[in-house]
Structure 1
Amino acid sequence: MKNRNYILVLLLITLHVSCSDFLDRYPMDAPSNATFLSNQKEMEMGVISCYNPLWLTYWGLPFNLAFDYATDIGYERNAYGLHTLPQGAATPTVDIIRDYWASFYDGIAYCNYFINNMHNGETNVDPVIFNRLKSEARFLRALYYSYLTELYGDVPLITKVLTVTSQEARTPKSQVVDFILSELTEIVQYLPEENNPLSGKIAKGAALALKARTALYNEKWNDAIDASSKVISMEGEQYIIEKDFSKLFTLAGESSKEIILSVQYLKPYMVHPTYRQLGSRTAGGYTNKKPAYQLQDAFECIDGLPIDKSPLYDPMNPYQNRDPRLEYTLAVPGSVFLGYQFETHGDSVLIWNYRNNTRVNNLEVTNAYGTWTGLCFRKYCNLEDAADPNNSDTNPILIRYAEVLLTYAEAKIKAGQIDQSVLDAINKIRSRESVNMPHVTTTDPQELFQIICRERKVEFAGEGLRLFDIRRWKMAEKVLNEPLLGRMKKTYPGIPHMDEYGNSYYDQSVIASPGESVDYKMRLVDERHFNASRDYLWPIPETEMQANPNMTQNPNY
């Protein structure tokens, strides 16, 4: 059941606070710096404002899910800013670059106001509750800084309420990262141990998991090992690997203890149109955002071998004998998706509507804005939203336990500490009941790292982690200089070459040139370009450059 109280409290307050919002006298229609946060009720209300940026969306899609469409595994059809990023055409005026910066710094401002004014009521609140609420705000501030540093690099580190004339310079990323890790280390002692995924509130495991992620992204291996191992020690009682992988991304799975932190939505108050964004044309979606055809190549065969090495792989029946996560993650030709037969073969102009057992026109073939890649994302795109496709309230996951396990394994590998616990961490994910892939047994460091890269690609596809992975692995300059492809209309393109990291490459001879028929050649959906001297960071938004003479731009923008 959704936590209605949490959302409804949000609706009762309009705290968009900054230092310029309050006069020296006490206002009658707004909080006062001198009196607000003077008791527990006001503090519980006030901390909700710190969560506001988590409801950030990009053209309707929850903010964290949008990141994958700036990578090699996803494509944004509409010509918004997100469409331009993987084409190597980012500029300081792009909407997503401007909006994410502004929203995360708004969140930091809310947190700073809350943290710096809690002293008004400290003596009126139980110390346990006071410290918990303060730690929630400190966690959220650390979360926003973690996104800012990974997207933009050096960013201003601000921990106080600013004046309207403040013009802060950028702080080196390393210092901001140290601040994030220090904050998360300190607040763990004040947060509750119980993991309640439907509360939307911060528990110890969330702080430790974010610390582990931040440390991993910044090659602080021992910190990542320490933090993730503490979460692992809570396995069973607080955290699990969900048996049913597909359940995690549905309303029914929102209470799963694999979920460490998710963004809370509730109809009709807080909703997102993910069904409309991701759903097939036939089922009433727009397929604005879709997976690359190459993504399906990354899923191994059930013997644990890549498709270019497994004797089980049949290029004419490419979805047979594959890692079950393939069809849990993607709608593939020949499957049932949102109550319809999903088929992208050019001659399949009629398909079954299984909702009422009738034959209907196949818009994936006849509509000019069908999927293009031959695939759709299943994650977060659920039949229960079909009647109201613009108003889903499925909670998008920010952190789940599977990530912690792979963080632990990768950090141990990089630290040269390979032992059985590394294999156990990987195999817990591969052997979940609904997946049941062969166990990893190698102890070779390079092979294990390659396995981690492949596992993260298929386990988290569509969840918004791929951008940060290909950046930190310095893989973006390779995979984002390859075209994004769609399947042939009349057949399948054969067996691609797979590299050790789960990335596929097709011979130019099977890719259609502009204007060439795609019946028997792969569609060239998008040309990708990545400048390694520039594109590992987003530019600082032009609005910030104009407003702040102390702000500097990232290289080559």
Structure 2
Amino acid sequence: MTRYKQLHKKLLLLPAALLLLAGSSCKKDLDYTPEVFLSAQQVYKDQAGATAGVTGIYQQLQSIKKNEVSLMGIIGTDEMRFEYQAQAWGGYWAKVAGLDSYDITFNSQNDVMGYYWNYCYVGIANANYAIQYIPQIKNFADVTVQNRLLAEARFLRALFYFQLVQFWGDVPLRIENMPFGDGVPRAPQDKIYELIIADLQYAQQNLWVRSKTPDAGRATVEAAEALLGKVYLTLHRYNDAKPLFEDLINNKGIVLNTDYADLFNKENTAESLLEVQYSPQSGATNGLQNIFGASLASTPGGPTGSTTPGYGGNVVITTAWYADSLFDKVNDKRYAASITPHFYASSDPSSNYDWWVDIGLPHLKKYDITTSSGSIDIYNSAKNVIYLRSADVFLMYAEVLNELGQPNAALAPLNKVRDRAFGNALHEVPPTAQAALRDTIMDERSRELGGEGWRWFDLKRTNTLVQRVRTHDNPRPYYVARNGEGDPHLPQNVSDINYLYPIPLSELQNNPALSLTSQNPGY
């Protein structure tokens, strides 16, 4: 784990109880806990305050990746689904399940959606303060550092708006903080994207390059280019995305790790372009081991609290397509690094948990904490979460080339990812037609990036959400073979209206510029 010098960061008290959370350093970069409450003007008065204030914005990125809120974009796809029996835990968890089944709980009163919305707007509010006050600071020792901190704030604002516009479409565009109670109408998506692109272009020109960034976990030029390229790809602006990906690959020298498993066994590796930093510090952990689980949680000598046989993981399982059909289980190294085929007791590896319908089924392994020495228990993982990485760039580049009518050229970046996965070139994709290669690239994105938070976005971008969820989130042969019954999961109700999420009711009620008629169609 990396260390950085002690920095006693301050907190900002914002209107409507919006908090800029920053704090003192611990064992890893960008760790923070609350200390004191100050106004924006008090925080952004010098270089140290600006550094602390911008660092605090990352806390909201932690918030959207640390627990069941992070399941937005992961379940309700062809990769992952909500565990059957956990739906009986109560109303809140029924709403989490609704993210997967698109049932009656997939509505404006879904708490998970509301939390996600609020976390993003807190991040935006905190970024807006940084963007407002950093240019006013007169005593920066180095104006380049001043511009870089401003670029970090603009990068993070763009990141939060990208998440919002993808899930909700037209959303309130807040580029400056106003008194609580002032209404902000929903802005058209193209206006949201204009701001996202402008922020990321500024970030691209002013951020640190990875080799010189002061702390792991901070946004860099490479991260800004990758996210901007993803935005252009999302908008089908392929000619704008292409040079960004080519610059990253040919000039910035992004690389793949030699070993795919290192992505999830080590932190801030060469392939990682942006990781969300977690640590054992209070308030800086995540609960993804418990959400996703893995049989290896029972490994003797694992983190404290994770040694109970079969313990950890009863919320999310894989779909049959992802775990059973997608991979070459013998030759593709990503299979063993991504999936735990059985959830078993250490004393009896053959024991599947028939008393809990889903527990014996394959689990996602990427968030397993048995290789994370700093983790406390299954509810408090100190393991980082990857947001952007090089393999995503190579696959996006392949998609761009294919959509530009260059399917043969698209094979080079696609097969670079496959060569790493198989350890040789024997399993490279041969020349194929553009339409067929679209499906191939989509499948490859799932093999490579499964469970990392981009799948819903991929399905939306390619207009395949409804078709793929209906086709691949289906009954498992397991239930018939072992229990003589059909799949007890709730049926999928996904439809075209689900290409947008419902605007949270709290926003419709509390934003004076909106009303109940401001809702997305179908909700």
So what's the TM-score if we normalise by structure 1? 0.79
Aligned with 1:211 (options 228, 250, 253): 228
Matches of 2:222 and 2:504, distance apart in 1: 33
Aligned with 1:423 (options 411, 414, 417): 411
| SS of alignment partner, residue 202 of structure 1 | coil
| SS of alignment partner, residue 158 of structure 2 | helix
| SS of alignment partner, residue 67 of structure 1 | coil
1:438 corresponds to 2:444: no
The alpha-carbon distance between structure 1 residues 92 and 425, as it changes in their structure 2 partners (threshold 3 A), is same
Aligned with 1:378 (options 337, 355, 365): 365
Higher helix fraction (1 or 2): 2
Residues 369-408 of structure 1, C-alpha deviations (whole Å, 9 max, x = no match): 6525x21111121324597222211100000001111111
- Contact 2:64/2:119 (<8 A) preserved: no
1:120 corresponds to 2:144: no
Q: Which residue of 1 aligns with 2:507?
A: 544
Q: CA RMSD in A?
A: 2.8
Matches of 2:439 and 2:169, distance apart in 1: 26
1:284 corresponds to 2:318: no
- Contact 1:244/1:434 (<8 A) preserved: no
- Contact 2:181/2:511 (<8 A) preserved: no
Q: Which residue of 2 aligns with 1:458?
A: 447
Letter in 2 for 1:442: P
Q: Which residue of 2 aligns with 1:132?
A: 148
| SS of alignment partner, residue 489 of structure 2 | strand
| SS of alignment partner, residue 167 of structure 1 | coil
Worse-superposed segment, 215-224 or 378-387: 378-387
Worse-superposed segment, 122-131 or 253-262: 122-131
Matches of 1:267 and 1:158, distance apart in 2: 34
So what's the TM-score if we normalise by structure 2? 0.84
Residues 293-328 of structure 1, C-alpha deviations (whole Å, 9 max, x = no match): 221244344xxxxxxxxxxxxxxxxx4x35332222
% identical equivalent positions: 26
Worse-superposed segment, 186-195 or 273-282: 273-282
- Contact 1:18/1:110 (<8 A) preserved: no
- Contact 2:369/2:378 (<8 A) preserved: no
The alpha-carbon distance between structure 1 residues 204 and 211, as it changes in their structure 2 partners (threshold 3 A), is same
| SS of alignment partner, residue 352 of structure 2 | helix
Matches of 2:178 and 2:495, distance apart in 1: 36
| SS of alignment partner, residue 509 of structure 2 | helix
Matches of 1:57 and 1:211, distance apart in 2: 20
1:268 corresponds to 2:284: no
| SS of alignment partner, residue 317 of structure 2 | strand
Structure 2, unpaired ranges of 5+: 20-35, 88-92, 296-308
Q: Which residue of 1 aligns with 2:519?
A: 553
Task: Count matched residues.
Answer: 476
Q: Which residue of 2 aligns with 1:296?
A: 323
Matches of 2:166 and 2:101, distance apart in 1: 19
Aligned with 2:264 (options 237, 249, 256): 249
Matches of 2:178 and 2:453, distance apart in 1: 32
The alpha-carbon distance between structure 1 residues 62 and 141, as it changes in their structure 2 partners (threshold 3 A), is farther
Residues 9-38 of structure 1, C-alpha deviations (whole Å, 9 max, x = no match): 5x743224349999xxxxxx8534555422
Letter in 2 for 1:73: E
Matches of 1:546 and 1:265, distance apart in 2: 34
Structure 1, unpaired ranges of 5+: 23-28, 302-318, 334-341, 344-350, 354-358, 490-510
Aligned with 2:12 (options 15, 18, 28): 15
Worse-superposed segment, 169-178 or 75-84: 75-84
Cα drift, residue 330 of structure 1: 0.8
The alpha-carbon distance between structure 1 residues 30 and 185, as it changes in their structure 2 partners (threshold 3 A), is same
Aligned with 1:527 (options 481, 491, 499): 491
Matches of 2:325 and 2:415, distance apart in 1: 18
Q: Which residue of 2 aligns with 1:346?
A: none
| SS of alignment partner, residue 262 of structure 1 | strand
Letter in 1 for 2:161: Y
- Contact 2:260/2:333 (<8 A) preserved: no
Residues 437-464 of structure 1, C-alpha deviations (whole Å, 9 max, x = no match): 6112315211222211111111111111
1:185 corresponds to 2:182: no
Matches of 1:20 and 1:528, distance apart in 2: 38
- Contact 1:266/1:393 (<8 A) preserved: yes
Letter in 1 for 2:508: M
Letter in 1 for 2:415: N
Matches of 1:482 and 1:535, distance apart in 2: 16
Worse-superposed segment, 208-217 or 75-84: 75-84
